[in-house]
């Protein structure tokens, strides 16, 4: 009996950097990987992809149990 084995792996790393000058960087790094093995053939590949968003942020006006920040990207789209 013969066959081949293959696998797929996708990972993601997300980081937020809030600076004292009230600017931020939000980075998302993704890696898609594939491995295929068989009796006479092996192949693998990895495809990295990164997105980076920059903007401004503001601290909340009050202190609660949950922290809520205001962020606005340089593209002008607000988010919470």
pLDDT, tens digit, 9 for 90 and up, residues 35-80: 777 666 677 767 789 999 999 999 888 888 888 888 888 887 655 5
pLDDT value for 44 = 72
If DSSP states are collapsed to H, E and C, what string results for the chain?
CCCCEEEEEEEEEEEEEECCCCEEEEEEEEEEEEEEECCCCEEEEEEEEEEEEEEEEECCCCCCCCCCCEEEECCCCEEC
- Structural domain containing residue 29: 5-79
Res. 3 pLDDT band, cuts 50 70 90: low
| Average pLDDT over every residue of 23-27 | 95
Domain count, the chain: 1
| Average pLDDT over every residue of 10-25 | 93
First-residue to last-residue Cα distance in the chain: 56
pLDDT value for 68 = 83
Contact 50, 27 (CB under 8 A): yes
């Amino acid at each position: 009996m013969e066959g081949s084995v293959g696998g797929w792996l996708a990972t993601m790393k997300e980081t937020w950097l809030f600076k004292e000058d009230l600017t931020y960087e939000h980075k998302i790094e993704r890696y898609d990987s594939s491995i295929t093995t068989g009796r006479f053939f092996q192949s693998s590949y990895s495809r990295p992809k990164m997105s980076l968003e920059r903007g401004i942020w503001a601290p909340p006006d009050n202190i609660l149990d949950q922290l809520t920040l205001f962020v606005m990207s340089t593209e002008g789209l607000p988010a919470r």
